[in-house]
Structure 1
Amino acid sequence: MSTDADVIIVGGGCIGATIARELAADHNVLLLERDQIAGETTGHSSGIIQPQYQFPHLPKAGRLSFRFFESLDGHRNYEYTARELVNLHGPEKTEQVQRYTELVSRNGGYDTTWLSAAEIDERYPGVFNVGEESPIAGGMVYGRMGWVDPYTYTTTVSQDATDRGATIETGVEVTGLLVEAGNVVGVTTETGDYRAPEVVVAAGRWSRELVADHIAIPIQPQRFWHINLESETDLSQRVSDEYPQWYMDLDFGDGLPADLGLEGFMATFWRPEHTGELHVAGIEGLLGENPSVKTTVDEEFHLLLAERIADILDEFDEGRVTNDGCCPTGDAMSPDWLPIIDSPADGPAGLTIATGFSGLGLSASPIAAAAVRQLISGHGAPFSLASLSLDRFDDRSAEFAEPPFDVFDTSVFEE
């Protein structure tokens, strides 16, 4: 199948669409998506803009991300809402959190503040149970975070890409790469071949199998769940630019369903909704090579989660679940939680990979776009790509245990 494209992008989620927008200014871009734009993992994401959460060691990348999302505010139907994020913690981590907060602020240049439980209660009065039995000892406040609607954002940047000359074809499933004499020359699909000298694979968890005949990528699929809880307390008044989103490793003890593959603790986010309900979401962990992805959350876990949230929020009683679900496709995780954005030297020439965003791809999408431009055109990224390269992994097997992830890990900073 003939095409005039210079670059084929595989994947129409937030990463692929943002890359298409970036490259379309001076390349003939063809984006191929097997479903619809933002129809899979992106459409089920949280919408949190938090680049410093994943890239504390790359402050220039974080600033690029914030500038991009803020600059689009009011464009088409897209809106950007500034909103703080607070990482809460128990007493065992107070010293570590204080140190991490200092390093993020000093080395990363981010707006971060450590608050004790009493200071959190003073800053957000009436929200938390900070008495003697509260699990909260303090928290780290990210002063510059944001929220966008993932679907609206992705359709906005994809429309920008087409306005700049890109072609987007949906309902086209890419099945592999076309490689001749060590060079990428296009992709294969169920309906025919598309040819171009550059191919960017940004297909989430499917990226590994698409390039498997030519290079190995160490990623595994990862699933996320969400539920909405309705309480006697109407939380709609808590939806504002000033009211933050919250994060904490919640201790569920023996109550976590066995199929989650986790032991006791789970990374959990929550925020109030305009409906007055509380939206709660969390990471379920790795699913293995051939996951059977459920679409609902365990009923007993519903009840336990409501109890844990009620222990923390002073204004929330144990609410009933109004809806629940899991990301039906799963994102992809690398062995160190950082994405892989690279044109691997040991892969076919002309191949670029952007995958392994560990559920944080939305806020990383402008970073990925700048990095891919750097890899293809030799300019565009005001930050080092070394920590994102594929060759940082000696073992590229997909059979790795879920890597430990400490939100307050100080080792990411060089002293």
Structure 2
Amino acid sequence: MDDAVGEAGLVDQFEELPRREGGPLARLEDERVPGRHPRFDLSAFAGAVRHEETGFVDPYTFAVTLKEDAEARGATVSTDTEVTGLRTDGGRVAGVETEAGSVDAPRVVVAAGWRTERFLREQVRLPIRPYRTQCAVLDPGRELDAEFPMGWVPGEHVYFRPEPNGDLLVGGWSFAEDDPEGASEREDEAFRDHVADLVPGFLRDFDRARFVNGWAGVDGATPDTRPIVDAPDDGPEGLVVATGFHGRGVMTAPVAASAVRELVGGPAAPFSLSTFALDRFDSRSRDFEFSSISAGD
């Protein structure tokens, strides 16, 4: 995990700062920003709202660390093994079918992103809609310093953060995807053009930044942008779902894990699970208006 670097949201106009649990907020007027973050040029903005005590992780390193820790505690992790179906017996979960054979289990947690809805369609209806998001990495020529924050730009559907090697990652550009299976895993030219036009407008010395690489992926969204972590009443007994994280799965992993642990019979989570309950939705329809959390509005 990288050290906390702070998070800055650029703003077009200042209003009363919203309350935020878990860390203080600071308002940085345009003229104050260069002293703290000299690479920023906020002449086109009123300034920035800084969220203190924040940071970011490298998702790959995080996932590998969790895998190794789980295996050290006796878990078996099977990669490149497709789970083809859920087995039930008399209204209870009995296990899963995989391409490598059957696995017996009295409880099954399905946390398969946008595929969770399709995988469980015969057992329970879930209001999950696929959406596609993209990333691009830029080499600024001169490495970003250790104090460079992560942040977002209002209304532009992007966020940004430094890479450990001093490059800049710009992500977002998230829109509903009607063909998730056929969606390209490469970033779009339109996204690269958007990044190329946008970044030099608020960062100095980026007009000749070099494109390093990019990619795209599909995730699952819910109507209210909050995940579903629940043991659905209308599903088979022993089934737990954890899906619809709206791109924030890594960030909410500790909370989701505590909720899942309670749902599979472990200690109670130190918070109410009602926030993530499936029955909070009046409709289970998959046809809802997608809201992008990367818009930064």
What TM-score, normalized by structure 2, do the two folds share? 0.91
Match of 2:227 in 1: 339
Amino acid at match of 1:381: A
Deviation at 1:392, TM superposition (A): 0.7
Deviation at 1:269, TM superposition (A): 1.7
CA contact (8 A) 1:202 1:353 kept: yes
**Which residue of 211, 231, 239 corresponds with 2:145?**
239
Identical-pair percentage: 36
Range that drifts further, 181-190 or 275-284: 275-284
Match of 2:98 in 1: 189
- Distance in 2, Cα, partners of 1:169 & 1:404: 32
Deviation at 1:163, TM superposition (A): 1.4
Deviation string, structure 1 residues 141-165 (Cα, Å, up to 9, x no partner):
1111122221221111111111111
Amino acid at match of 1:142: H
Q: Report 1:232-381 matches (<5 A).
A: 233-234=141-142, 236=143, 238-240=144-146, 242-249=147-154, 265-273=155-163, 275-288=165-178, 290-327=180-217, 330-377=218-265, 379-381=267-269
Cα 1:206–1:163 change in 2 (3 A) is: same
Relative CO higher for 1 or 2, CA cutoff 8 Å, sep ≥ 6?
1
Match of 2:63 in 1: 154
Amino acid at match of 2:238: G
CA contact (8 A) 1:266 1:284 kept: no
**Which residue of 85, 104, 117 corresponds with 1:208?**
117
Match of 2:10 in 1: 88
**Which residue of 122, 132, 143 corresponds with 2:35?**
122
- Distance in 2, Cα, partners of 1:187 & 1:157: 22
In structure 1, the gaps of 5 or more residues are: 1-78, 250-264, 410-415
**In the comparison of the two structures, how many residue pairs are matched?**
297
Deviation at 1:291, TM superposition (A): 4.8
CA contact (8 A) 2:87 2:96 kept: yes
Deviation at 1:275, TM superposition (A): 4.7
SS of residue matched to 2:156: strand
Amino acid at match of 1:174: V
Q: Report 1:102-181 matches (<5 A).
A: 103-104=19-20, 108-124=21-37, 126-131=38-43, 134=44, 136-181=45-90
SS of residue matched to 2:204: coil
- Distance in 2, Cα, partners of 1:152 & 1:386: 31
Cα 1:277–1:170 change in 2 (3 A) is: closer
- Distance in 2, Cα, partners of 1:384 & 1:113: 30
Cα 1:274–1:179 change in 2 (3 A) is: closer
- Distance in 2, Cα, partners of 1:223 & 1:380: 34
Cα 1:222–1:113 change in 2 (3 A) is: same
CA contact (8 A) 1:229 1:306 kept: no
Deviation string, structure 1 residues 301-359 (Cα, Å, up to 9, x no partner):
423421211111133224342322212xx111111111110011111110000111111
- Distance in 1, Cα, partners of 2:158 & 2:48: 14
Cα 1:151–1:320 change in 2 (3 A) is: closer
Range that drifts further, 167-176 or 204-213: 167-176
Deviation at 1:82, TM superposition (A): 1.6
By percentage of residues, which structure has more helix?
A: 1
- Distance in 2, Cα, partners of 1:370 & 1:270: 29
- Distance in 2, Cα, partners of 1:153 & 1:230: 24
